[in-house]
Amino acid sequence: MRLLLVEDHKPLQRSIRQSLEEEGFAVDIADTGPEADHKVRTASYDVILLDIMLPGIDGLTLLKAWRKDGIPAHVLLLTARGELEDRVKGLDTGADDYLVKPFELEELFARIRALIRRGHSAKDPILRIFDLEINTASRVVKRAETVIHLTPREYSLLEFLAFHRGKVVTRTMIWNHLYDENDENTSNVVDVYIRYLRTKVDRQFSPPLILTRWGEGYMMRDQDTPIEIGKTP
């Protein structure tokens, strides 16, 4: 999933970004309020990690403007202000969650995963599609009780398809959610990773779950998809 990290303290920014990327997230960076505002209004993010104290425009002013303009991305406030009044103000301004510095990275990851599930109305951390199970907390994938080993990018793509199961997702949608602004790959890499996933998730199992909609994109089969659809690659 694609995140925007808005943090002006460079050492902390580098540390968080590296850790998030190691977890398989695509991460864009903004150092100032105006830069964050521009990126939020020109790209689509699953979660925005927003520091309150920023050069140019403070985080709460940004958040208030985004909510006023109908920007729906989940916002997790990162701040050194831990007083009750500050937390209440942030949440009442439109934040979805609040994390006080210093924090443990595992807690940050857990809160991000919870916000992503909330965005897809999924309370259970385990996504189940036929005999496929995706544990969004541990990032363990099983099919027919067999553990399937995926790279971080393969996992992110599978999770994205699963969250949108039963719906066609275009290559552009996949690209916008799985790759950051500095990625030099072309959109054709999406087709490559679809093939990787099919080899691992579908080849030895039935029915095939990752379907192609020619001229449109890809779709994860759901319970209402006729079994005969997608029998050939």
Total-model pTM: 0.80
CA–CA dist 126, 211 (Å, integer): 21
Please tell me the predicted confidence (pLDDT) of residue 175. 86
Does residue 117 have a pLDDT over 60? yes
Please tell me the predicted confidence (pLDDT) of residue 227. 58
Please tell me the predicted confidence (pLDDT) of residue 45. 93
pLDDT digits (tens, 9 = 90+) for 166-185: 999 998 888 888 877 776 66
At 41, the pLDDT band (50, 70, 90 cuts) reads very high
On average, the pLDDT of the chain sits at 89
Counting residues of the chain whose pLDDT is more than 70, the rounded percentage is: 94
Phi, psi of 112 (to 5 degrees): -65, -45
pLDDT digits (tens, 9 = 90+) for 138-153: 999 999 999 999 998 8
Please tell me the predicted confidence (pLDDT) of residue 80. 81
Domains, in order of start, for the chain: 2-119 (3.40.50.2300), 126-220 (1.10.10.10)
pLDDT digits (tens, 9 = 90+) for 98-112: 998 889 999 999 999
- Give me the sign of the Cα torsion angle 216, 217, 223, 229: positive
DSSP β-bridge partners for residue 47: 3, 74
DSSP label at residue 76 = E
The reply to whether omega before 102 is within 30° of 0 (cis) is: yes
Kindly give the residue spans of alpha helices, DSSP state H, lying in 124-203.
Answer: 152-163, 171-178, 189-197
Please tell me the predicted confidence (pLDDT) of residue 228. 58
Q: Tell me the CB-side half-sphere exposure of residue 198, using CA atoms within 13 A.
A: 18
CA–CA dist 200, 203 (Å, integer): 6
Under 8 Å between Cβ of 205 and 131 = yes
Please tell me the predicted confidence (pLDDT) of residue 233. 43
Please tell me the predicted confidence (pLDDT) of residue 89. 87
At 66, the pLDDT band (50, 70, 90 cuts) reads very high
Overall average pLDDT of the 106-133 stretch: 90
Overall average pLDDT of the 21-36 stretch: 93
Please tell me the predicted confidence (pLDDT) of residue 226. 64
